[in-house]
Amino acid sequence: MRFPSEPFRIKVVEPIRRTSHEERERLLQAAGYNLFHVPADSVYVDLLTDSGTSAMSDQQWAGLMLGDESYAGSKNFYHFEAVVRSIFGYRYVIPTHQGRMAENLLFSTVVKPGMCVPNNIHFDTTRANVEHQKAEALDLVIKEAYDPHCELPFKGNMDLARLEEAINRLGRRSIPFAMITITNNSGGGQPVSMENIRKTRELLNRYGIPFLFDACRFAENCFFIKERETGYGEKPVIDIARELFSYGDGCTMSAKKDGLVNIGGFLSLNDERWAQEITNMLILVEGFPTYGGLAGRDLEAMARGLQEVLDEEYLRFRISQVRYLGELLEAAGVPILKPIGGHAVYLNAKEFLPSIPQDQFPAQALVLNLYREYGIRSVEIGTVMFGKRDQVTGRMIHPELELVRLAIPRRVYTNMQIAYVAESIVSLYNQRDSIKGLTMSYEAPLLRHFTARFAELSSPTTIQPPDAEV
């Protein structure tokens, strides 16, 4: 287990409030046992998401002061556009306030009812945005991605045989474009290899189908390519990124991840007609094309973040800190998804709580107990997020993986806090028999995990936290 040493020091600190077990229980009940509804200042270590939670650098904060808030033609837009072009290489750069707006603009412009968008695995907002157009969001990741024990270096790869089969079955006209999500968040933050991306491009070329990336964690994916793929060990990550994007026709991006900012996103495309139509829609729903729902200062912070994220010292620390948490858990026998992902460690809830059936949301039960006992917030990626009701019988159709994601914000927590998280989870694992299943008392028709409410099946038993208070 290698201790990840930080390539930065702390200049500004944000105090974290300690809460008691009773307070957390009260907050959980008020939140309907949904951690999205627990106030953030009542969380000790917040691993809900790595999205929008990064600590910005002094360079980024300095950039905020250089914000040009002109309605049209802000100088920060031109800087941002030049940075995006220099990394991603696509002609048109369309800023949005976050990733799902980029998705919404793209899908509402290009995807028509009855069409199908293949992806390795669609993220929840991506799937919801495709389905909102009455189109099919088809996940075609390699089958090993669903085996939590299989240790492939590139478990986010697209299954090319299934992609070709889908194209032949549905017909080229039904597929407006194919996507690949780097890294594959919903499949454990697993990377996609350059070879797989190149072959996907070749396959799509044969059918004349455009190819886009969901690029949220592109730098982490490129670092894995450098670490794991033959021929890339000596290449700078920026060159790996340029090669990777050269195989695509565009991307959607939530800069709240590898843009190292708290808000921001963009679409970047080569197709002039799509870019034109999307820009028209952008003006209607986000704002003028040189700010797209953001302030000039946000664009500056994003431009600087996109450059900083490619710093290899930073990336080495980032990937090692996540790996450190995973290795501490593994050493104690806690079941996790392997290999350890780029931005998060995923607990395997089916093995952590084998006696709780998927109908009783074992991953959500883990999420709630981690908060109640140790003040740690995580997120369910399982039946709550991806389960679906059968239209005829009303029965729940379960996803294959039942996971709890411990997403590590970038440059935010110390290694001691990471060790606290590991110690807490090990302690919970040793008392796992006392954890109870849940029922869902409310669900919204779309993206239900954000607003669902739950009840515990029986009264909670007391679990001993490592600290009396956290």
What are the residues binding ligand PLP (CB under 6 A)? 51, 98-100, 123, 125-126, 181, 185, 214, 216, 254, 256, 265
Q: How far apart are CA 206 and CA 463, in angstroms?
A: 58
CB of 89 to ligand PLP, least distance (A): 20
CB of 450 to ligand PLP, least distance (A): 11
Minimum CB separation of residue 216 from ligand PLP in Å reads 4
CB count in 10 Å sphere of residue 13: 6
Q: Pinpoint the alpha helices (H) of 17-150.
A: 21-30, 58-64, 75-88, 99-110, 124-132
Query: With respect to ligand PLP, which residue has the nearer C-beta, 185 or 290?
Result: 185
Q: Is 34 helix (H, G, I), strand (E, B) or coil?
A: coil
Residue 125 or residue 424: which is nearer to ligand PLP going by CB? 125
Q: Which is nearer to ligand PLP, 84 or 470 (CB)?
A: 84
Shortest Å, Cβ 60 to ligand PLP: 17
Q: Using the minimum distance from each CB to ligand PLP, give the nearer residue, 124 or 456.
A: 124
At closest approach, how far in Å is the CB of 409 from ligand PLP? 12
Give me the amino acid identity at 226.
K
Residue number with the shortest CB distance to ligand PLP?
99
What is the closest distance, in whole angstroms, from the C-beta atom of residue 19 to ligand PLP in the complex? 26
Shortest Å distance, C-beta 263 to ligand PLP: 8
C-alpha torsion 126→131→135→139, nearest 10: 50
Category of 464 on φ-ψ map: left (φ > 0), alpha (ψ -120 to 50) or beta: beta
CA–CA gap between residue 177 and residue 174 (Å, rounded): 9
Please report how close the Cβ of residue 98 comes to ligand PLP at its closest, in angstroms. 3
Q: Which runs of E-coded beta strand occur in 245-356? A: 250-254, 265-269, 344-348
Q: How far apart are CA 408 and CA 50, in angstroms?
A: 5
**Closer by beta carbon to ligand PLP, 256 or else 350:** 256
Amino acid at 440: M
Q: List, in order, residues 6 or more apart from 78 with CB less than 8 Å away.
A: none
For residue 407, what are the β-bridge partners? 344
Cis peptide before 15 (omega within 30 of 0): no
Smaller CB distance to ligand PLP: residue 442 or 450?
A: 450
Neighbours of 114 (CB within 10 A): 11
Name the minimum Å distance from CB 188 to ligand PLP.
12
Cis check: omega of the bond before 393, within 30 degrees of 0? no
User: What residues form DSSP beta bridges with 454?
Assistant: 440
**With respect to ligand PLP, which residue has the nearer C-beta, 214 or 271?**
214
Quick one: 98 or 279, whose CB is closer to ligand PLP? Answer: 98
The DSSP letter of residue 104 is H
Supply the minimum distance, in Å, between the C-beta of residue 422 and ligand PLP.
Answer: 24
Q: Cβ(51)–Cβ(256) under 8 Å?
A: yes
Q: Closer to ligand PLP at the Cβ: 126 or 364?
A: 126
Q: What is the largest CA-CA distance in the chain?
A: 62
SS3 181: strand
Which CB sits closer to ligand PLP, 256 or 411? 256
Residue 378 or 424: which CB sits closer to ligand PLP?
A: 378
Supply the minimum distance, in Å, between the C-beta of residue 67 and ligand PLP: 20
User: What single-letter DSSP state applies at residue 183?
Assistant: S
Q: Would you say 142 and 160 are in contact if contact means Cβ atoms under 8 Å apart? A: no
The H or E element that residue 109 is part of is helix 99-110
The sign one gets for the Cα dihedral 145, 147, 149, 151 is: negative
